[in-house]
Chain A
Amino acid sequence: MSEVSPRTNAVGQAREVNEGGQLGDALQQSVKSRSYVQMAVRRFRRNKTAMAGFAVLIVMIIMALGADVIASQITHHTPEEQSLLDRFAPIGADGYVLGADDVGRDTATRLVYGARVSLGVAGLAIIFAVSIGAAVGLTSGFYGGWVDSILMRLVDIVLSIPTLFLLLLITTLWRVGPVLLALVIAAVSWVTLSRLVRGEVISVKSREYVEAARVIGVSDFRLIWRHVLPNVAPVMIVWASLTVPALILVEAALSFLGLGVQPPTPSWGNMLSNAQTFWAHSVALVILPGLAIYITVFSINLMGNGLRDALDPRVTD
């Protein structure tokens, strides 16, 4: 995908110089021969804010994945290690880059491990949510009829229950670990995607190439998999990238309320919740986890906007 040939690069530059000119028009035709994915990647790369968001996200992911390495090589603390002599160590204190919390645990280490939990739960949740939403939307849009009616009523029902209250009910009834939490969050957030996918499928399935495939006797499954799904994929990608931030916020909110990820496993939400009690001692403890959530969510939103603009040329915001 990222292998842009020298020729197309040159065309890209020439086009920017000659915008509107005759040469530009002629070159634009050669640009058109590139695939949809290549063009989307190019549009995305040109979007500086989206690329910045993408870069920040990559850094966050690397920190989350390399939490063990960071803990052993840089901060020299484990997330659970306590030291009551260093309670509320300020930022930059000896041995504590970002200070320490109420029982002397290193904030930097815990933030990095928190990234693992927060991004992990949100990542898993979005995979579940996309799977459920796409399956329902594809089935509903492709088959129509009573299947469609029943599935869409189900969507209406889930949409009318305030998400956080439903999550509250579920977490009241069951104690959930991180993986189950992701599944539960996904279970209440797939609905909007299934509506979007359904709409797209209805418009795609009446196109000629789908008709043609049907005429030569392609099975329903293959028809959906090979001919419908690739055309619905952009909608799914954009939805996913704009929904991940919301899922991170939901996980953080639940953990903040004490109903999500349980201590001692650090998550940004429960770190904030814990710090709340001690802010007379250390304001940094309250500011840092929130800032981590905010930066992550903000950068993914920027990236998501860029992806939407790149994947859907019709949307010119």
Chain B
Amino acid sequence: MTRYIIRRLLQVIPLLIGITLITFLLANAVPGSPVSNLEFNPRTSQEDIDRIKESLGLNDPLYVRYFTWLGNVVQGDLGISMRTYRPVSSTIVEKLPNTLLLTGTALVLALIFSIPVGVYSAVKRNTPFDNAATAGSVAGFSMPTFWLGLMAILLFAVKFQEWGLPALPPGGTHDLRTGGGFWDRIEHLILPAAVLAFVQTAAWTRYIRSQMIEVLNQDYIRTAKAKGLKDYIVIFRHGLRNGILPLVTLLGIAIPDLAGGSIIIERIFNYNGVGLLAFNAAVNKDYTLVMGIVVVLSTLVIFGNLIADVCYAILDPRIRLD
């Protein structure tokens, strides 16, 4: 197992190099340079511009600049925001907990809803429930998140308030006047997390259903039934454990989707996280910040996948580790 983990860790290195390289090359393929706007300033002489270029290392060849930048990134220095002049890394670290809370909650919500529905569909195959669940999952899977988010705000925040029902807050992470207690934060989390979870739930329900159907057709399930075990023991002890095991790797794959979805959700709900940060940075053309976010999130995704793979290998002894 240790060898497997070490080997997987070594595989991460070329990935990280590739991601930083792509990000760096994209940023450098843009016409102009960080000092381009100085050239339009009549009070800046050409000598000054040349000196600034030299001191910023802009005259170095591309690969030197890449390795300089990479060296800084490895040490946790992602440069300075072109808009706020604050360090990119600390700006991201500030917002990351909110986004992790949001995506984590969405993940849990999606699991809570998709596992029972998927399993029940598989057990009651081709019944009205199963057909409704299958149709519902295609319908849910097709839902544009941003539209669903707007509709959710319209109904649960705006209309509920009009109708005098207990309404949810339309956006933000907490109440700015009170500073937000525990329940206040939960209240602000419900709508964005539910909307973010919605599409994943629909996709996973289908996946779990087909996995469970496959497992329930196995010989050991028939054996378990034949020896007279109760249905629920067969389904939960023998079926479910094997049926939801592949979900571990699926979780790893879902992380980038959830992260991507957080841009839209955080924008709609004005939720103060990395997604909203990335959106604002993109609008402001603050490309050092966007670069930093891409590098940080991709790294998180890679390690998320790594953890998922290792968990899978631990949980399923049938996986060969060579």
Q: Once the chains are docked, how many angstroms separate the CA of A249 from the CA of B147?
A: 10
Interface set, chain A 133-149, CB cutoff 8 A to B: none
Contact B150 A286 (CB under 8 A): yes
Q: Which of B30, B139, B293 contacts A165 (CB 8 A)?
A: B293
Can you name the residue of chain A whose Cβ is closest to the Cβ of B144?
A293
Asked if B285 lies at the interface with its beta carbon under 8 angstroms from chain A, I say: yes
Asked if B216 lies at the interface with its beta carbon under 8 angstroms from chain A, I say: no
Contact B138 A301 (CB under 8 A): yes
Contact B19 A160 (CB under 8 A): yes
Contact B260 A165 (CB under 8 A): yes
Q: Which of B143, B150, B282 contacts A171 (CB 8 A)?
A: B282
Interface set, chain B 255-314, CB cutoff 8 A to A: 256-257, 259-261, 263-264, 267, 278-279, 281-283, 285-287, 290-291, 293-294, 297-298, 301-302, 305
Q: Once the chains are docked, how many angstroms separate the CA of A294 from the CA of B145?
A: 10
Q: Which of B14, B19, B138 contacts A161 (CB 8 A)?
A: B19
User: Which of A158, A173, A258, A276 gathers most chain B CB within 10 Å?
Assistant: A173
Q: Contacts A162-B301, A317-B210: A172 and B146 contacting too (C-beta < 8 A)?
A: no
Q: Once the chains are docked, how many angstroms separate the CA of A301 from the CA of B14?
A: 36
Question: Nearest chain A CB to B95's CB is how many angstroms away?
Answer: 14
Asked if B132 lies at the interface with its beta carbon under 8 angstroms from chain A, I say: no
Count of chain B residues near A, Cβ 8 A? 48
Contact B294 A253 (CB under 8 A): no
Contact B150 A272 (CB under 8 A): yes
Q: Which residues of A contact B263 (CB under 8 A)?
A: 164-165, 168, 257
Contact B30 A174 (CB under 8 A): yes
Contact B264 A162 (CB under 8 A): no
Q: Contacts A153-B18, A162-B297: A169 and B23 contacting too (C-beta < 8 A)?
A: yes
Contact B282 A286 (CB under 8 A): no
Chain B binding site: helix, strand, loop or mixed by DSSP? helix
Interface set, chain B 133-149, CB cutoff 8 A to A: 138-139, 141-147
Contact B27 A173 (CB under 8 A): yes
Asked if A154 lies at the interface with its beta carbon under 8 angstroms from chain B, I say: yes
Q: Once the chains are docked, how many angstroms separate the CA of A283 from the CA of B158?
A: 12
User: Which of A164, A172, A290, A297 gathers most chain B CB within 10 Å?
Assistant: A172
Asked if B52 lies at the interface with its beta carbon under 8 angstroms from chain A, I say: no
Asked if B10 lies at the interface with its beta carbon under 8 angstroms from chain A, I say: no
Contact B298 A169 (CB under 8 A): no
Q: Which residues of A contact B283 (CB under 8 A)?
A: 258-259
Asked if A252 lies at the interface with its beta carbon under 8 angstroms from chain B, I say: yes
Q: Which residues of B contact A173 (CB under 8 A)?
A: 26-27, 29-30, 287
Q: Which residues of A contact B298 (CB under 8 A)?
A: 160-162, 165
Contact B147 A272 (CB under 8 A): yes
Chain A binding site: helix, strand, loop or mixed by DSSP? helix
Count of chain A residues near B, Cβ 8 A? 44
Contact B294 A257 (CB under 8 A): no
Contact A293 B147 (CB under 8 A): yes
Q: Which residues of B contact A249 (CB under 8 A)?
A: 144-145
Q: Which of A164, A256, A289, A298 contacts B138 (CB 8 A)?
A: A298
Q: Once the chains are docked, how many angstroms separate the CA of A293 from the CA of B264?
A: 16
Q: Once the chains are docked, how many angstroms separate the CA of A301 from the CA of B19?
A: 32
Asked if B151 lies at the interface with its beta carbon under 8 angstroms from chain A, I say: yes
Q: Contacts A157-B19, A171-B282, A172-B281: A290 and B139 contacting too (C-beta < 8 A)?
A: no
Asked if A302 lies at the interface with its beta carbon under 8 angstroms from chain B, I say: yes
Q: Contacts A160-B301, A162-B301: A169 and B26 contacting too (C-beta < 8 A)?
A: yes
Asked if A305 lies at the interface with its beta carbon under 8 angstroms from chain B, I say: yes
Q: Contacts A279-B154, A286-B154, A302-B138: A164 and B143 contacting too (C-beta < 8 A)?
A: no
Question: Nearest chain B CB to A194's CB is how many angstroms away?
Answer: 15
Q: Contacts A258-B283, A293-B144: A165 and B15 contacting too (C-beta < 8 A)?
A: no
Q: Which residues of B contact A165 (CB under 8 A)?
A: 259-260, 263, 278, 290, 293-294, 297-298
Asked if B233 lies at the interface with its beta carbon under 8 angstroms from chain A, I say: no
Q: Can you identify 19 A-B contacts, CB atoms within 8 angstroms? A: A153-B15, A153-B18, A160-B298, A160-B305, A162-B256, A164-B259, A165-B290, A165-B293, A168-B263, A168-B294, A169-B290, A172-B287, A252-B144, A253-B264, A256-B264, A286-B154, A294-B143, A301-B141, A301-B142
Interface residues of B (CB under 8 A from A): 14-15, 18-19, 22-23, 26-27, 29-30, 138-139, 141-147, 150-151, 154, 210, 256-257, 259-261, 263-264, 267, 278-279, 281-283, 285-287, 290-291, 293-294, 297-298, 301-302, 305
A161-B297, A302-B138 given; 10 more Cβ-contact pairs under 8 Å: A159-B256, A161-B22, A164-B263, A172-B286, A172-B290, A257-B264, A272-B147, A283-B154, A290-B146, A317-B210
Interface residues of A (CB under 8 A from B): 153-154, 156-166, 168-174, 245, 249, 252-253, 256-259, 272, 276, 279, 283, 286-287, 289-290, 293-294, 297-298, 301-302, 305, 317
Q: A-B pairs with the 4 shortest C-beta distances? A: A290-B147, A164-B260, A157-B18, A298-B142
